[in-house]
């Protein structure tokens, strides 16, 4: 079962993600990135974090330890931003913490160009994402970290942030366990992921017994009140049944077609050109706030 700790100090929020997790110290002297029950993503995001994260660990993938964190909003009374304080105030009680990896670097496209990833390791990660319908590990948002980044231990890939996985639990009715998702833009797609070898290795390990053990770690409070299910245990059974059926249907959803970096760049350039052609002239002159404006977008050029 997940360990339970009590937060002793709230350090700072992390604004890199939409859920605005916070860095927190706990009574076990550990430091954790805490995802709060009061976030806009709701408790289902925490359920997905537990199930996918613990499944990753059971399959031998690197994933930081998860703990259940008892949090008192009074610890964040010094937080200057009103919206973040509101999030903390709405998160009294049990929340989810992930072990903080000091000095870890994001696996960005720039970093990825020079970082070696074994095709089988890439295949295992893609396979896990396909099994759990994790649509948020793309070239633009990898949710992968490189750690450690110091000392003599070679850096390795670590998985983080699975709150967007298990998309089927947002609409249980009509969810097809054999449904395929588009993983062509997966963050590890250009490493030639060997998903067939990963399927042969990992699928037999994802048994109903393993899934029951993992889903049992989700607190009752995060499952209670799910529409269409009388008890938290009924929800747990639905997760086990769905994921076990999906494992058995892996030949239907196994991703095997991944474009190269060059093909991805060409595809994105074509999409950008199509979008630009479809914009009205006045909108084309709006400056790009996320990068250097072109001469057409730079209003100062036209005002001189």
Tell me, yes or no, whether 11 and 82 share the same domain: yes
Structure tokens at 248: 């058995």
- Phi, psi for residue 300 in degrees, rounded to 5: -60, -30
Looking at the fold, whether 119 and 145 belong to one and the same domain comes out as yes
Asked if 31 and 109 sit in the same domain, the reply is no
**What count of other Cβ atoms lies within 10 Å of the Cβ of residue 213?**
14
Would residue 189 be called left, alpha or beta, if left means φ above 0 and alpha means ψ between -120 and 50 degrees?
A: alpha
The residue out of 57, 80, 99 marking a domain boundary is: 99
Does residue 111 share a domain with residue 219? yes
Helix (H) or strand (E) holding 200: helix 195-202
The answer on 168 and 144 residing in a single domain is: yes
pTM of the predicted model as reported, rounded to 2 decimal places: 0.89
Alpha-carbon span 60 to 156, nearest angstrom: 13
pLDDT value at residue 114: 85
Radius of gyration of the chain (CA): 21
Q: Is 30 helix (H, G, I), strand (E, B) or coil?
A: coil
pLDDT along the chain (304 residues), means of 10: 97 87 98 96 96 98 98 97 96 98 93 91 98 95 95 94 96 94 94 97 98 98 96 98 98 93 84 77 55 40 33
Residue count of the chain, please give it: 304
Q: Which residue segment(s) compose the domain that 278 sits in?
A: 261-303
């Amino acid at each position: 079962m997940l360990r339970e700790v009590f937060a002793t100090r709230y350090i700072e929020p992390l604004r890199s993600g939409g859920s605005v997790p916070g860095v927190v110290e706990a009574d076990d002297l550990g430091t954790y990135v805490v995802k709060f029950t009061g976030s806009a993503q709701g408790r289902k995001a925490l359920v997905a974090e537990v199930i996918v994260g613990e499944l990753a660990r059971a399959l031998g993938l690197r994933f930081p330890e998860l703990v259940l964190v008892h949090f008192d909003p009074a610890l964040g009374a010094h937080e200057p931003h009103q919206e973040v304080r509101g999030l903390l105030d709405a998160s009294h009680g049990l929340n989810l913490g992930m072990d903080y990896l000091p000095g870890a670097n994001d696996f960005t496209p720039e970093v990825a160009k020079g970082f070696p990833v074994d095709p089988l390791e890439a295949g295992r990660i893609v396979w896990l994402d396909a099994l759990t319908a994790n649509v948020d590990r793309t070239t633009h948002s990898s949710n992968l970290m490189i750690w450690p980044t110091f000392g003599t231990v070679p850096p390795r890939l670590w998985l983080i942030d699975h709150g967007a996985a298990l998309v089927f639990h947002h609409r249980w009715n009509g969810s097809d366990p054999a449904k395929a998702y588009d993983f062509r833009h997966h963050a590890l797609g250009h490493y030639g992921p060997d998903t067939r070898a990963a399927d042969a290795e990992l699928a037999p390990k994802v048994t109903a017994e393993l899934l029951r053990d993992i889903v049992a770690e989700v607190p009752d409070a995060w499952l209670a009140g799910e529409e269409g299910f009388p008890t938290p245990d009924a929800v747990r059974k639905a997760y086990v049944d769905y994921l076990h059926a999906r494992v058995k249907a892996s030949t239907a959803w196994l991703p095997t077609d991944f474009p190269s970096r060059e093909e991805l760049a060409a595809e994105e350039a074509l999409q950008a050109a199509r979008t630009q052609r479809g914009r009205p002239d006045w909108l084309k002159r709006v400056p790009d706030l996320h990068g250097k404006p072109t001469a057409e977008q730079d209003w100062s050029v036209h005002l001189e």
